[in-house]
Amino acid sequence: MNRLLFQKEDCVTARIPPVLRPEHPSARSLAGLVEEFGLESVGSLDGVEISGVTLSTEDLHPGDLYVGIKGAHSHGARYAVQARDGGAVALLTDPEGAELAKDAGLPIILVSSPREALGDISAWVYRSADHPPLLFGTTGTNGKTSTSYLLEGILKQLGLVTGLSSTSERHIGDLTVVSRLTTPEASEMHALLARMRENNVRAVAVEVSAQALTRNRVDGIMFDVVSFTNLSHDHLDDYVDMEEYFQAKLALFDPDRAKRGVVSLDTSWGQRVVEESRIPVTTISATPGVPAEWTVDIVEEQAAYTEFKLTGPENRSLTTRVPVIGWHMAANAALAIVMLVEAGFELEAIGHALDVDGGIVAYLPGRTERISGDRGPSVYVDFGHSADAFLNTLAAVRKFTAGRTIMVFGADGDRDASKRLEMGRVAADGSDILVITDHHPRFEDPAAIRATLLEGAALAEHQPQILEVSPPELAIREAVALAREGDSILWAGPGHQDYRDIRGVRTPYSARDEARAALIEAGWA
């Protein structure tokens, strides 16, 4: 094993994307809010009108209701004076927060749990439940983002103005901004939906994380159709075990949150969703031999697309293409199509729209995204950051690689450390050359993270050439230097992201730009 280390000075530039709000908010009476929800209040409500909701003093607009929530290290109500000076006209908080903010001079609305109240109150303030668009929600460990983008792409091909909320981006028609969280806080989510209504959005695809469900980020939203992709080892820093993680996902399949569901049976957890769902569900599988109401069969695989046939009840079928490699991407696309059928779209109409365009038209940023040219090694950047994601993506890349498969990856700091050994093992098993580097170290020691990944790689049955290279800018250049014509490089982890989190600072960074630069420097145009 070679060890190659390089130190780079951190950049201190923070990169925080904006919160999208309605451009023309309509104020609502604070007294009306108190009456509507039967809330307790302190101070005069006379003449006070609110036009927005926020948890952050950095995102305050004049007329906002500021929400003070108790956090791990501080209570948000401590910043009530700062919120008032920034334009907040009232405070929503718990009794502890009310005591902390009593000298701020703001009328206070009291609730036992501000976070649990946030969704419904935000929906009321922004009127997001008035004439809502079609709402689609996707949950699961892997495939949420891809399914959401593919769903949005098909909706556009059907002629609808669309919206999207994903790990990567927020879309409102043609407007795009980078995301802060996989699923935004409830106040931001309802503001986003209100902005979408202003822009005549008719259908919205939302990526719903487990944390979004347990932290009340999608409260106050009724989805027309939700889906479950799969479940594998991840986020056990937030959940005590896989059972608790599963139960967090299952909460989306509740009549208070959704009307109908589509469940993939490609992992055993899918059958449990079917058995424990409290809403009507239909099933789908891309795994041969697994009985489901909808089945997916791979017809053809090329470097530019994967063609598949989707067959459903009464032997209805559709054959189309998804513009990315891998059976798992075909499964995601098929899941999106069945969600549309469950929402009332005709399968024949979907098939016609896709046929006109030669398949699904969608761009999936950082999802097995090929950024190399016609000469030299193929280079893919991918957001996958779990062992299961590595397994599927490596298999897809290897299928179109005449030479060697080279993998570059690191692991998140201050996140689920229990999955790192398996990530290292799967990465080693599926590659000919493995370059272990850094990703988002956050407040962890990057060398310690790499050491665990190396330990996991040593457990693999197949032992590739393994290098440890830090930082990632040098790692991708080392991988390109080792590559030859016909080889493929998979850089897993950073995907679409335009920063690295180093000791709490979002340092500007692009894996796509670094990979392209490495290719050019190596003489591959």
Model confidence over 55-112: pLDDT tens digits? 999 999 999 999 999 998 899 999 999 999 999 999 999 999 999 999 999 999 999 9
Predicted local distance difference test score (pLDDT) of residue 499: 87
pLDDT tens per residue across span 404-422: 999 999 999 999 899 999 9
Residues linked to residue 91 through DSSP beta bridges, in sequence order: 66, 108
The per-residue pLDDT for 14 is 42
By percentage, how much of the chain surpasses pLDDT 90? 88
Q: Output the pTM of the full model.
A: 0.89
Every domain of the chain and the residues it spans: 28-120, 134-356, 366-521
Q: Which residues of 279-299 are buried (b: 16+ CB within 10 A; e: fewer)?
A: bebbbbbbeeebebbbbbbee
Is a pLDDT exceeding 90 seen at residue 123? yes
* Reported confidence tier of residue 236, pLDDT bands at 50, 70, 90: confident
User: In this predicted structure, what is the pLDDT of residue 75?
Assistant: 97
What is the share, in percent, of the chain residues with pLDDT greater than 70? 96
Homologous superfamily in CATH for domain 28-120:
MurE/MurF, N-terminal domain (3.40.1390.10)
Beta strands, E only, 352-504: 369-370, 378-382, 405-409, 433-436, 465-470, 488-492, 499-502
- Alpha-carbon torsion 198, 225, 364, 219, what sign? positive
Number of alpha carbons in the 13 Å side-chain half-sphere of residue 185: 19
CB contact at 8 A, 43 and 107: yes
Closest alpha carbon to 64 in 28, 105, 19: 28
- Confidence band for 233, pLDDT divided at 50, 70 and 90: confident
Q: What pLDDT shows up at residue 1?
A: 45
Q: How many CB atoms lie within 10 A of CB 330?
A: 28
pLDDT in tens, 198-222: 999 999 999 999 999 999 999 999 9
Q: What is the mean pLDDT of residues 487-492?
A: 97
Q: Quick one: pLDDT band at residue 181, thresholds 50, 70, 90?
A: low
| Lookup: tokens for 521 | 């420097």
Task: Give the pLDDT band (50/70/90) at residue 235.
Answer: confident
Tokens of 171: 């879309």
Tell me the average pLDDT of the chain: 93
Tell me: cis bond preceding 471? Omega within 30 of 0 counts: yes
274 CB-side CA count, 13 A: 19
SS3 241: coil
Written out in words, the top-level CATH class of the domain with range 366-521 is: alpha beta
Does pLDDT of 15 surpass 60?
no
- Domain 134-356: homologous superfamily in CATH: Mur-like, catalytic domain (3.40.1190.10)
Taking a C-beta distance cutoff of 8 angstroms, is the pair 497, 511 a contact? yes
pLDDT at position 385, please? 87
- Please tell me the predicted confidence (pLDDT) of residue 180: 67
Q: Is pLDDT of 3 > 70?
A: no
Q: What are phi and psi of 348, to 5 degrees?
A: -65, -40
pLDDT at position 459, please? 97
Residue ranges of the alpha helices (H) in 238-382? 242-250, 268-276, 327-342, 347-356
What is the DSSP secondary structure assignment for residue 75, as one 8-state letter? Answer: B
Q: Which residue has the tokens 């108190």?
A: 34
- Pairwise CA distance, residues 124 & 118, whole Å: 10
- Whether the per-residue pLDDT at 434 is higher than 70: the answer is yes
Cα torsion 373, 377, 378, 379 to 10°: value is -100
Q: Please give the Cα distance from 181 to 320 (Å, whole number).
A: 32
Among 467, 481, 470, 472, smallest CA distance to 6 is for 470
Tell me the pLDDT tens digit for each residue of 260-313.
999 999 999 999 999 999 999 999 999 999 999 999 999 999 999 999 999 999
Question: Would the pLDDT of 11 be above 50?
Answer: no
Residue 508: strand, helix, or coil: strand
Cα(359)–Cα(422) distance, integer angstroms? 36
Residue 401, pLDDT > 50, answer: yes
